[in-house]
Amino acid sequence: MSGKRKDDMKGISRIDSKGTHGWYVRVYKNGKTYSKLYSDNKYGGKERALKIAKKARKVAVQAMKSVPTKRSRRLVTSDRRNKTGVIGVNRTKKRNRSGTVSEYYQVTWSPKTGKTKNKQWSIKKYGEKKAFELACAFRHEVMRDIHGKRYDEELDKIVRIPIDQIFKDDDELEAGNSL
């Protein structure tokens, strides 16, 4: 045997533990597991229980074909590692070839499963507050395009800190009146 299960045994495993002996059948759909144990005792022995388990699996797999596949993507609304208060927006630094370090607000998003994109706004060009605002506005727009109305509904549930409480005005920062 090559180590792979035969197709007729996919999702079927043997359980022999204390008072439980039988074939455990699992089928999966939309991230959920549906399972049932076919007991040797109840079905008249090991071989007959296996035969019924295989048949039950076939019927279950066929029945699952009529269940629509859920195409909903996961929408992350909080992350304890987030430092800006807005998921998908982070403050970052880049070092160019000449060695100069530039600071940015970067937006990261996934337009489709397996694909990640990002876009940056220069703090030097726009100022701290404006770069952050532009990044947040872009993130909101791109997430609404991906998730539709669901994004706004989830966003309404999140408590936000007003931007003025997060950032001091650029004038205050330059004058050294911050922290």
pLDDT digits (tens, 9 = 90+) for 124-143: 999 999 999 999 999 989 88
The DSSP H or E segment spanning 124 is helix 123-126
- Rounded Cα gap, residues 151 and 149, in angstroms: 5
Residue 24 CB neighbour total at 10 angstroms: 16
Question: Which residues, 6+ apart, have CB-to-CB distance to 10 below 8 Å?
Answer: 57
Low-confidence ranges of the chain (pLDDT < 70): 1-5, 70-78, 151-179
Structure tokens at 103: 């600071």
The DSSP H or E segment spanning 158 is none
